[in-house]
Amino acid sequence: MTTAELAAERSRIFQAAVACFARYGLRRTTMDDVAAAAAVSRKTVYNYFTNKSVLIAEVIFDEARRVNARARRGLDLDLPSAELLVAAELALLTSARKSSYIEILLNPADFGTAAEVIENSARVAEVQHEYWDPILDRIAERGELPADHDRTEVVAWLTFVHVALCARPSSANREQARRLLTRYVATGVLLNGSSRAR
């Protein structure tokens, strides 16, 4: 197979997986379901995705890239640090709510599966760092990010908060979400809770 044919086959398997996740849910979808939907052998699916968790992570990675791109548009990196953290999460939350995949990932029957993949996947961590690192770099440049903060832990915490807010219906209330983020997230990430958001 040529490189283009391999890429097309991978894309077909990926799209089949998304369709299966939407139809059966994350937990109930099997690699056999994906293979059948993509009209390939199970072995072929495993050639591209070593297990279902890797496949779920790729779906999350792919959609997170789109969510992140929408969230970055119009984000003012010159906001005071606490306001920047809050605005960045609110933008991410708004963008995620426009995602066609959010219902799949937040389905109560599958939320544990999605949360486990989000927590344990290096691929998902990579896409979260793509979003948060420029924001945290800006805050660090101002001397407002404690030197003893482990960047990986900070991004993992911000990701945890994001997933929790996505799953919480009341977080659709932006002012309530803003208050929670200001009080319990921005102050925890920043040096002495500096540059408090209003």
CB atoms inside a 10 Å sphere around CB 153? 9
- Claim to verify: residue 109 and residue 131 sit in the same structural domain: yes
Q: What is the pTM of this model?
A: 0.86
pLDDT digits (tens, 9 = 90+) for 38-69: 999 999 999 999 999 999 999 999 999 999 99
- Answer yes or no: is 198 within a domain: no
DSSP-derived secondary structure letter, 101: T
- Of the listed ranges 71-85, 99-113, 126-140, the least confidently predicted one is 99-113
- CATH value at residue 31: 1.10.10.60
pLDDT digits (tens, 9 = 90+) for 119-156: 999 999 999 999 999 999 999 999 999 988 899 999 99
- Claim to verify: residue 60 and residue 33 sit in the same structural domain: no
- Answer yes or no: is 144 within a domain: yes
Closest CA to 99 of 64, 61, 146: 64
- Per-residue pLDDT band for 196 (boundaries 50, 70, 90) equals very low
Buried b or exposed e, range 11-46, using 16+ CB within 10 angstroms = ebbbebbbebbeeeebbebebebbbebbebeeebbe
- Claim to verify: residue 157 and residue 147 sit in the same structural domain: yes
Parent domain of 178: 52-193
